[in-house]
Every structure is written in structure tokens, then in C-alpha cells.
Structure 1
Amino acid sequence: MDGRAVAPAAGTVLNALATGTGSAFAIDLETTASVSLDTGGTVTGEIAEEPDADASLIERCVELTLERYAAEAGLEPTEAGGHVRTETETPMASGLKSSSAAANATVLATLEALGLADAVDRVDACRLGVQAARDAGVTVTGAFDDASASMLGGVTVTDNTGDELLAREEFNCHALVYTPPERAYSADTDVSACERIAPMAELVAELALDGRYGEAMTVNGFAFAAALEFPTGPMIDAMPAADGVSLSGTGPSYVAVGDRTALEAVQERWTNRDGTTRLLRTRTDGTHTI
């Protein structure tokens, strides 16, 4: 009983840490999960790029999916187990939603192995990965905004306090990603500093729900860079060429969106900084089996 699935990474429109409302969009960096199920009763996992890294998130994704759906596939949930392996193009702890992508890919690969990938609603599958992230302690908010963008594709706006999808639409443009050398782990974020900028986050939510995603990103970027003490220089580099630019998640990456030619000019500035840049497309297809 084997399954494989691939999930895109995502960039931030609105960080949910301030108010619980968040928004994100899928980008063309992929994470692939391969799941093999058995009746051994235990789940093991590995991350191809970092074999010594903690695999509890992807293991928990398999466990929760089996607890919920194994019986529907004719398996005894207490006896179901297996192994999951992920491979990714997305740097870990970079603010590009690598955990959400890994969770989504793992849940859908497990459902594929059970023969249920087409039978389970994608939002319900997404919520399993969000719960696994909470159980594994890799997220503060549950990251339903990031996970929903990765699972569904396009851009989403969510209420992370209730894992509710408020809006979702297509989002077709180019995206430029700049990732500095350092890492930033979501679980270590100063949440109280983010909560103090709630009025700005409420403004960003209004812009996002009005479809003004570029403006929303830029307001979000400056507000959260200040709260989390990240430099604003990369965002200044992107203005006014980009339609929008933001610190992604809790950093350290920055993402700009807009016309390819305009973003190529921004890329020239960002390549003068330490780290890596990638000129990508946004994604509308979301997580899918392969």
C-alpha cells in the first residue's frame, strides 16, 4: 500500500500571529512525500535532505490519517503503520511554509496509499496536517493559512483560530524569493510582539479580503519586520517595481510578486545580499498525487 504526493511551498500575504487571521499563496517550490503502509503498528519517517532532523511532524501526519481513515480502507487502525520519506526543494525554517508543504504531501500520500485520495475533501485533509503540526509543536498558530494555500493552490485567507477558510482565488503572477543564510523557527517567535501590531494586521486583512494582495503584502511586511526585528532593506530594494513584497512568515525569507521583468530588476539588487534568490511562478494547482 504505497502513495506519493507533492505539495507546493507558499509565501505570506498576512501573518496570522497578530490576530489569528492569515493569508498566503502557493509558489513553485515542491515537497514530495512517499508513504508505504504496513500492519506493523508503528510509523517511522525520514527527511531526505536532513536525515538526522526531527521527523515527528510527518510521522504524526501518517498517524492521524490512519486513525481517521484506516478503517474505511479495511485496515485495523491500531495495527496500521508504515514509513514516510519526504524530499523538498524548500529550505527548512526559511518562512516558506516547508512544514505545511511536508504535512500536506504526507497526508495526501497516506490517503493515496489507502485508496482514498479522491474521496476525502482537500480542506479536511489540510486540517489533519494542521493538527499534526500543532501536536508536533512546529507551529504557533496551526498555520491553516499556509497549509490551505499549499493544499488548494492560489491565494487563501483564513481564520486560524477555527481553521476556517474565508476566501480562496486564483493568483497568477511571478514570485521572487530571497532567502538569507540564517534560519528562523516559527515555534521560537516572539508572539507578544506580533500581537501588539494587531491594528496593522486588521488593515492587512481588509486589503486581502478586498483582493488587494500586493498592498496587503507590503503593509504586512513592514509591520512584521519591525515586530520581529528583521531588516526592511530587502523590501525597500523591491519598491516600487514589485506589486507587493513581504517578510514571509516569521522570516528570514522575503517574497515579492509582480511582472517578471520588474522582478528581474529586483533580483539584481537581492543577489548583492548574502543568501539565495529564486524567480518562480505562483501555483494554482495545490497538493496532488503523483
Structure 2
Amino acid sequence: MGRGVGIASACASATVVNAIAAGKGAAFGIDLRVQATVRITKQRKISGRILGEKKESPKLIETCVRRVLESIGLEKSGAVVETTSEIPIAAGLSSSSAAANATVLATFAACDQRPTPEQVLELGIESAFEAGVTVTGALDDAAASFFGCGVITDNLKRRILKKFKVDPHLMVVIHVPPKKFYTSKVSPEKLHHLRGPIKSVHRMASRGEIWKALTINGLLYSTALGHDSMIAIEAISQGAVAAGLTGTGSATVAVAEPDKVVDIVKAWRNWPGRILITRPAVEGARVEGV
């Protein structure tokens, strides 16, 4: 790659505690990735494409590029940005946060700049608010995607309270229903009754009871949002250490020892949709080429 082109990627994440109800969240990175390629131009126009997803709006990635260029005094430049992704869109797996992280990093790389993690997260979150794809700013998702580990966060104060490691030998099994479910369509007011219970679940996660928190959080949000909680319960009955709705759905994530994966997959074939098998992330966002 020559000067003026940057390539970067970031990983997906799975929810431990969804921050919409109480403003505090937790998540961990999983090994599905999105890659962004940014090419700086002289045309003062920013155009984006999400390859393989013609119906999805490129507004978020275009906003990320513009905000980065403005932050380093290159607002008169233009750019072309393209993303490719292994992450199902609108399923609760942080496809937006990962795309923002990858795009922000790729734009800095294209401009020969090295940002701090705080800069990347802040620009991505502000872009997500502007593009209308987030309710809380999703610091939990963004930080898990950027650092590739587990994080416990205060989304409203934009603070990472704690990081934690997930056993890399565990497997992550994901059920993705046929229908997408967009976080931006969820009203925090409708989830206000979950505020107290979710605060308790967040404290549980902060004490290190990550898998218990993930399962209880998933049951609470599945019930509140009208998703089928039996998918998670079936995974638990098949030996998963934790299972629950991720994000606002529509996907369900199960965390399990490798020898339990086949049983979980067999049980989940009773539900329509596709099943992905992956692992906890071992690496977060990275520059892949300049």
C-alpha cells in the first residue's frame, strides 16, 4: 500500500451486561472480524460501501472517516472507505462498533498517524451517535472490540471500570435468527423497569461472576424485547457454562467447553437461522496495512 491508503480490522464482541437499561455494561471480544480500507482522495467527498451488504447504510463509516480527518486538520480531503465483515449485521454482535474501530484506525493509518486507544474509541462513539446506530454510545462493545478482551464499563461516564481475560480454550457458539434487529429501534424508556435488576447483574459481573451475569442478563432482555429465551436455556441444558441474548439481539451466544459444542449445535438446529462457531478473541483492533 502506498501513502494515502490504510487498512485496519477489529473484532466483534458478545454482551455480558447490556447497558441500555442502566447505563453500565460489560462485553468480551470474539474472533469474528471486520476489515476497513480507506483511501484518501483530493475530491472533498467521502463515500463508503459495505461490501456484501447493499441494503445497509454506509453513514457510520463515512462519519468515522470525516471525524478523523477533521480531528487532524484534513477536513478538505476526501476519501473512499470500504468494509468487509465476518460479523452478522444487526444481530447484537457489535458489528457497528467493530466497523467504527476498524474505519477510524484505517483512516489514521492512511494519514500516517498513530492515535491513542482513547482517540479511536471517542471518535467511533461520537460517530455512532451522529449516525444514529447507538443508544448508549456502546463503550462496552467498542472497548471489547478494540482491546479484544473482556471489559466492564460505565457507558454514560465513558469509563472502562475493569478489564478481564476470557479463557481462550472456551468456544463461543452463536445462533443468528433470520431476522435482523436494530439497536437504534429500541427505546430505553421501555426498558426502564430493568434498571434495578440490571444494576445488580452489573455488580455481579464486576465481582467476577461473568458467566452468571451473561445468562441472567440475556434472560431479562430476551423477555423484555420479545426474543425467544428458550434458545439460551436449551444451550445451558446441553452443558454451556453461559448462554444469553447478545446486545438487543437477535443473536444468542453460548460459551462452552469444546466437548459440549456438538450437543449445543444439535439442539439449536430446532430453531431457524444459522449457527456460527468461534472463540474468544485473542487480539483486538489492529492496523493491517498502509
Matching of residue 232 in structure 1 with residue 235 in structure 2: no
Where do residues 33-52 of structure 1 align in structure 2 (5 Å cutoff)?
33-52=36-55
**Retained in 1: the 8 A contact 2:31–2:282?**
no
CA contact (8 A) 1:190 1:228 kept: no
1:85-124 to 2 correspondences below 5 Å: 85-116=82-113, 119-124=114-119
User: What does residue 207 of structure 2 align with?
Assistant: 210
Question: How many residues end up aligned between the 2 structures?
Answer: 282
Paired residue secondary structure (2:62): helix
Identify the match of residue 175 of structure 2 among 171, 178, 181: 178
Moved over 4 A (4+): none
Contact 1:123-1:148 at 8 Å conserved across structures: no
CA separation in 2, counterparts of 1:194 and 1:223? 10
1:240-251 alignment runs, 5 A limit:
240=237, 241-251=239-249
The two structures have a TM-score, normalised by structure 2, of: 0.94
Aligned to 2:136: 141
- In structure 2, what is the Cα distance between the partners aligned to 1:201 and 1:258? 23
Indicate which of 21, 27, 34 corresponds to 1:24.
27
Q: In 2, Cα distance between the equivalents of 1:88 and 1:159?
A: 28
CA deviations over 1:122-164 (Å, ceiling 9, x no partner): 1321121111000000111111110110011111111111211
Q: Counterpart of 1:33 in structure 2: which amino acid?
A: A
Aligned with 2:84: secondary structure? strand
Q: Would you say the 8 A contact 1:39–1:80 is kept in 2?
A: yes
Verify the 8 A CA contact 1:96 1:248 in the aligned structure 2: yes
Matched, 1:84 2:87: no
Instruction: Give 1:52 shift.
Output: 4.3
CA RMSD of aligned residues (A): 1.2
Tell me the distance in 2 between the aligned counterparts of 1:232 and 1:87.
31
SS at 1:104 equivalent: helix
The sequence identity of aligned pairs, in percent, is: 35
2:155 aligned with 1:160, yes or no?
Answer: yes
Q: Which residue of 2 aligns with 1:285?
A: 283
Name the TM-score, length of structure 1 as normaliser.
0.94
- 1:278 alignment partner, SS class: strand
Q: AA paired with 1:261?
A: D
Superimposed CA distance per residue, residues 236-278 of structure 1 (whole angstroms, 9 cap, x where no aligned partner): 1111411111101011100011211123211111122100111
**Secondary structure at 1:184 match in 2:** coil
Structure 1 counterpart SS, 2:11: strand
